[in-house]
Chain A
Amino acid sequence: MRSFLLTGSGGGFVPPSTADFNLPPIFGHNVYTTKPIALVVLSVILVSVFFIAASRKAAVVPSKLQFAGESIYAFVRNDLARDVIGHEFMRFVPYLFTLFTFILTNNIFGIVPLLQFPAMSHVSFPYVLAIFTFVIFHAVAIRKKGLMPYLKEIMFMPGVPKPVYILLTPIELATFFVVRPLTLSLRLFANMFAGHLLLLVFILGGDHLLKGVVGLKLISPFAFTFGIGLTFFEFMVQCLQAYIFTLLTALYIAGALADEH
């Protein structure tokens, strides 16, 4: 990792690494007082306060605040839940809505000044969310179809020649019980992790160049400009990842409710 050493006056440049994601506890050695945990708690407070304030009046003619909250809610409710799940969608709206707002807020923390850390780049949080989704879509399917018919449906997809099951059954089992939750969490985690790392590279790099000789100082603005450009790009990725996580959850639930697979 030290091969990036620059020979400026400021000494060697240490490129950001995974170690940068391990923030120390804010208070002593209490592992519950780390920055990501504080951010997650903050996100819960912010989202709750915002949406309670927005929905409190539930007016027919909405205020600006209500309109803003409603737009997000209606997006999850109509474009994600209703369009994907179908007529039983209303049961899942609270979960999908929580998922979307929670992930989105924590992702956007990555580019909010002062906070500047996406909590979802700590894999524990995506794991938790993926476990919730995993439990929910299996529970929905088992309640709808019964345990044995559901397993049978997964393992022996109808309309397939028998010998193909040798290949298909392990693949389907892996898909439903390993790949889905794993990809769901890792996709979110890796995007946030890589995005944050990328921003660190450009902004810390620019900072480091600024401390270098005059020639390097001149290059520094480019690094910062890139960093700012990437911040906008990150914003897009953060929204997209929140959307994808919620969309896939809705799709899994829709699959669990569907009669045929």
Chain B
Amino acid sequence: MSFKSTAAEAAANPLVPHTAELIVGAIAFTLLFLVLRSKVVPMFEKAFAARTEAIQGGIEKAEQAQRDAATALSQYTAQLADARGEAQSIREEARVQGAAIIEDLRTKAQEEAARITASAHASIEAERQQAITSLRNEVGTLATELASKIVGEALDDQVRQSRIVDRFLEDLEKSK
């Protein structure tokens, strides 16, 4: 407690600031401010943000996962329904096609049958005509021979001969 010059003058009033202290105080405080602002505050804020993120992010992730699961489920359900619908339509189509094929075949078979029947009829008719013709000729010859034998008269004249046969046959048909 025995400082001579400085103590005597400054001790008089403790409210009078010292220039050196003002300067050092301002610089020291500013330095500390710059250090804390650039190095410490951002890091603590980062830690706080990361912590908030970790908590909120966890909740959000869980919610997101739930939403994803629900979406996937509805997708699968929709796909399943689609597949079922498709299978149904394929079956339906196959049934329709099958029916069409059967119908087609049946039609073709009937046509074939009709055609065969028709050609059979035609050939029968043709053969009948042929038979009739040949029969007629044969019958004519036979009858002529027979008649000539019976009548004793040669019927050489072709025209007359055939007229006689025709008349005979007409008589024959009428008598039937």
Interface residues of A (CB under 8 A from B): 14, 17-25, 31-32, 34, 36-37, 40-41, 43-44, 47-48, 51-52, 54-56, 58-60, 62, 66, 69-70, 73-74, 77, 93-95, 97-98, 101-102, 122-125, 127-129, 132, 186, 189, 193
Q: Is the CB of A127 within 8 A of B14?
A: no
Q: Is the CB of B25 within 8 A of A59?
A: no
In the complex, what residue of chain A is closest to B10 when comparing beta carbons?
A22
**With A and B bound together, what is the CA distance between A95 and B36 in angstroms?**
9
Contacts of A52 in B (CB 8 A): 35, 39-40
Stretch at the interface among B46-54, B68-76, B89-97, B150-158: B46-54
B175 interface contact, C-beta 8 A: no
Contacts of B87 in A (CB 8 A): none
Contacts of B7 in A (CB 8 A): 19, 22, 24
Q: Is the CB of A48 within 8 A of B47?
A: no
Q: How far is the CB of A22 from chain B (nearest CB, A)?
A: 4
29 A-B residue contacts at CB 8 Å? A19-B1, A19-B7, A21-B14, A22-B7, A24-B7, A32-B24, A40-B25, A41-B28, A44-B29, A44-B32, A48-B32, A51-B39, A51-B40, A52-B35, A55-B39, A55-B43, A55-B44, A58-B43, A58-B44, A60-B50, A60-B51, A73-B41, A74-B44, A98-B32, A123-B15, A124-B22, A124-B25, A125-B21, A132-B26
B20 interface contact, C-beta 8 A: yes
Q: How far is the CB of A226 from chain B (nearest CB, A)?
A: 22
Contacts of A23 in B (CB 8 A): 3
Given A20-B1, A128-B22: A70 and B47 interface contact (C-beta under 8 Å)? yes
**With A and B bound together, what is the CA distance between A97 and B16 in angstroms?**
28
Contacts of B16 in A (CB 8 A): 123
Q: How far is the CB of A19 from chain B (nearest CB, A)?
A: 4
Q: How far is the CB of A195 from chain B (nearest CB, A)?
A: 14
Which parts of B29-85 form the interface with A (CB within 8 Å)? Answer: 29, 31-33, 35-37, 39-41, 43-44, 46-48, 50-51, 54
**With A and B bound together, what is the CA distance between A193 and B15 in angstroms?**
11
B18 interface contact, C-beta 8 A: yes
**With A and B bound together, what is the CA distance between A41 and B7 in angstroms?**
22
Given A34-B20, A37-B21, A40-B24: A132 and B29 interface contact (C-beta under 8 Å)? yes
